[in-house]
Amino acid sequence: MNQGVSIILCTYNGKNRLDATLSHLARQQVSVPCELILVDNASTDDTKTFADTWWQHHGTPKISYRSFEQPISGKSYAQDLGYEKAQYEYLLVCDDDNWLCDTYVQSSYEVMESDLQIGALGGWCEAAFESEKPSWFDRYARYYAVAKQGKESGDITNKKGCLYGAGMVLRKSHWLELKQRGFVHLLTCRKGTSLSSGGDTEYSYALRLLGYKIWYDERLYFTHYMTSGRLHLEYLSRLRKAINESDFVLWAYLDLLKDSPRTQQDFLKQALKGMPLLCIKKLRLLLLGDYEQKEQAKFYFRNLGHLLFSYSSYRKHFESMKIWLF
């Protein structure tokens, strides 16, 4: 595999966001071989043409540029196409609303080169806002992947244990290894305007199952641009629901990592814990509570539904993972 960094930028209708994102990429202080691969994921706003023209006129010769179209909706499908086309070992995921610091690419390369057991590398970010910052944002910033992923630089495999996808760095050789084993995503990340999520966490867990480390480095900093449409509580509620649904799919990964698969009896026992008083309390909060109390009640009832009615799906997830792992 050629040594260098392939920046994978997947976008859906990102035309209005790409100017700032591409500007930050063009300012990268990089001395290693580097390319930018843009994947248009079924956009309808002529995103690809805009990006192609922008880089032709404003890009840097330090970073070569190619673009592709992925007609299948789903960020994981777009990323897989980008990974397939990448010519370098290190794959850096840059979302279309991520503004990387000018040393991000070079530092990523140096960290990954320092330890061949690092499977996934991540950094941290702060938010920039299209409109006024909501008073509640800091409390819920983690749902927007605006947070540090560790207390200090180093191995977080057995701490946080996963990374958010924005700014994540992977190895193409590991991606090829997973593909050769028959790995198939259970989660596909976002599709168009939907809020499905979790593909980045799934990939982190898959790498851990193969014995690789999850790493955090404070030198990797970027700004996450928040559009006005995402800055209201209704959107946050939808986002939390999507995360909760994805988390259920990931139960099987976590149990396999602990080598402790659950039985249907385990599901039922957990569902009945605290019954009926806990159920009555959560129902009261759902009807009469404030925003956070209602969201916690929704979380409880969603998980209760999984525990009571979704064991067969859990087993299906578990068995599908065993096919490629063993």
Query: pTM of the prediction?
Result: 0.94
Instruction: Return the structure tokens found at 129.
Output: 């806002």
pLDDT, tens digit, for every residue of 106-154? 999 999 999 999 999 999 999 999 999 999 999 999 999 999 999 999 9
Does a structural domain hold residue 232? no
At 300, is the secondary structure helix, strand, or coil?
helix
Number of helices (H) and strands (E), helices first, in the chain?
A: 12, 9
Position 188 confidence tier, pLDDT thresholds 50, 70, 90 = low
Position 189 pLDDT exceeds 70: no
pLDDT, tens digit, for every residue of 263-309? 999 999 999 999 999 999 999 999 999 999 999 999 999 999 999 99
**Residues 186 and 253 both lie in one domain:** no
Instruction: Return the structure tokens found at 271.
Output: 């569902």
**Residues 65 and 172 both lie in one domain:** yes
**Residues 12 and 151 both lie in one domain:** yes
**Residues 81 and 183 both lie in one domain:** yes
Position 194 pLDDT exceeds 60: no
**Residues 313 and 213 both lie in one domain:** no
**Residues 166 and 211 both lie in one domain:** yes
Position 217 pLDDT exceeds 80: yes
Instruction: Return the structure tokens found at 29.
Output: 């202080």
Mean pLDDT to the nearest integer, 244-270: 96
| Cα angle for residues 80, 84, 90 (degrees, 5° grid) | 90
Does a structural domain hold residue 203? yes
User: Is 29 within 8 Å of 58 (Cβ atoms)?
Assistant: no
For the chain, percent of residues with pLDDT exceeding 70: 97
**Residues 137 and 245 both lie in one domain:** no
Position 156 pLDDT exceeds 60: yes
**Residues 69 and 183 both lie in one domain:** yes
pLDDT at 193: 47
**Residues 13 and 89 both lie in one domain:** yes
pLDDT at 192: 45
Q: Report the Cα 40 to chain-centroid distance in Å.
A: 18
182-216 burial code (b ≥16 CB/10 A, e <16)? ebebbbbbbbeeebbbbbbbbbbbbbbbeebbbbb
Burial class (CB in 10 A: 0-12, 13-18, 19+), 257: middle
Which is it for strands 98-100 and 213-226: parallel, antiparallel or unpaired?
antiparallel
Q: Nearest CA to 146 among 162, 131, 126?
A: 126
User: Is 50 within 8 Å of 22 (Cβ atoms)?
Assistant: no
Query: Domain range spanning residue 26?
Result: 2-226
CATH number at residue 20: 3.90.550.10
CA dihedral 94, 95, 99, 102 (to 10 degrees): 10
